[in-house]
Amino acid sequence: MKFTYPSWHRLHKQNDKEALTSAAAKSGLPPGSLVHIGERHTASCKIYVTQYNADKLEQQEIATLAELNNLPAHGVNTWINIDGLIDTKVVESIGRQFNIHPLVLEDILSTRQRPKLEEHEDYLYVVVKAINADCSEGFSLQYEQISILLLDHYVITFKEKADDTFKPIVNRLHNRKGRLRLCGCDYLTYVIIDTIVDDYFIVEDKLDDVIDPLEDSLLNNPTDNTLHTIQQLRRELIGMKRSISPLRELLTKIQHSDSALLAEKTLRFFNDVHDHVLRVTDALDSYRERIAAMQDIYLSSISHKMNETMKVLTIFASIFIPLTFIAGIYGMNFEYMPELKWRWGYPSLWMLFIIIGVALLLYFKKKKWL
């Protein structure tokens, strides 16, 4: 029976291949409804299958999941990678073929998930966030949710878009003597997570390239653009911390998991990834402190510059106050003012102005107000 949206619902008349940008758009739908939440990165889903063991490696792109039935299922590890989540039927077919719970399929299509681990009887479901930095215009981070299903002899990954995130893993698979070819699917899951975490260090290096010059410019010439950059970095760091911090809990759960899908020798490698995540989170805390200090420095610099300007203006005003007072006296319209009839009255008045101005300047300099 095909489900139809009621006329009052916001998804009424919506095309199945349209993507929603907010989870709030699913309001009113029953749990397990397969609707893609997130940006449309690809026009269609592409399915790549990699099968390997110690002796062979085969990679191919398939059009439908039905072609998996024609591939060998025993004696090899099978990695199914799906680029693009716009076609919900592909995810639904994965669920039917591998008996995946509908709520897990719903989370795969909802790209607003936090990193997490869910243990089921026959599979493990892992969500991690891949992060890339774009420094072409300012500094901005791009996030991509990567969902991983670990089954017996199968690893299924779901990516939002087609990119080179997994290219290092594919290159490692070509090494026949590498550990990746000799170990099982749990080790492949570790390699995927480790590759994503390693990219965090690249983002850290780019953060250093942005923050170090920014700190120097704060002391030399702070501008409105400087404050804008500081605020942008602050927002990006908050988002990055939100996407990375849950990984500590995720990796701790993996290390204490008693699932038969995870070999004991592989759990030691997850401990190494956990250490990397701790290093990244500590670095993020350090960056946030630097950004907060930079914001304080900016405000102090602007305040200091304003104080310097006000000091100069106050000094000039203090010099002209007595001159204005004298000029005001002789600007009064009294008839009997002896100095007005004096031949040297005008030059004498200018001489008095100069003496007062020079004396005040010397006095301010002696007080180190200048």
Predicted pLDDT at 26 = 61
Indicate the helix (H) or strand (E) that contains 327.
Answer: helix 264-329
Predicted pLDDT at 29 = 64
Q: 3-state class of 124 per DSSP?
A: strand
Q: With the C-alpha atoms ordered 81, 72, 101, 119, is the resulting torsion angle positive or negative?
A: negative
Domain 309-366 part of CATH 1.20.58.340: yes
pTM beyond 0.85, yes or no: no
Above 60 in pLDDT, residue 224? Answer: yes
Predicted pLDDT at 17 = 41
Q: With the C-alpha atoms ordered 47, 53, 58, 64, is the resulting torsion angle positive or negative?
A: negative
Which of 260, 14, 238, 49 minimizes the C-alpha distance to 152?
Answer: 260
CATH topology of domain 23-300: Beta Polymerase; domain 2 (3.30.460)
Q: 3-state class of 144 per DSSP?
A: strand
Mean pLDDT of the chain: 83
Q: What is the DSSP-derived secondary structure letter of residue 23?
A: G
Read off the pLDDT of each residue in 39-55 and give the average, rounded to a whole number.
83
Predicted pLDDT at 272 = 92
> Radius of gyration of the chain from Cα atoms?
35
Read off the pLDDT of each residue in 255-263 and give the average, rounded to a whole number.
90
Above 90 in pLDDT, residue 6? Answer: no
Predicted pLDDT at 21 = 57
Predicted pLDDT at 24 = 58
Identical fold, 23-300 and 309-366: no
Q: Where are the domains of the chain?
A: 23-300, 309-366
Edge-first strand order for the sheet with 124-134 is 57-62, 46-52, 77-83, 154-159, 140-151, 124-134, 116-119
Q: What confidence tens digit (pLDDT) does each residue in 8-40 have?
A: 444 444 444 445 555 555 665 667 667 777 777
Q: What confidence tens digit (pLDDT) does each residue in 79-135 have?
A: 999 998 888 888 888 899 899 998 999 999 888 889 999 999 899 999 999 999 887
5 falls in which pLDDT band (50, 70, 90)? very low
CB of 368 within 8 A of CB of 314? no
Please provide the distance, in angstroms rounded to a whole number, between the alpha carbons at the two ends of the chain.
Answer: 86
Q: Distance between CA 49 and CA 60 in Å, rounded?
A: 5
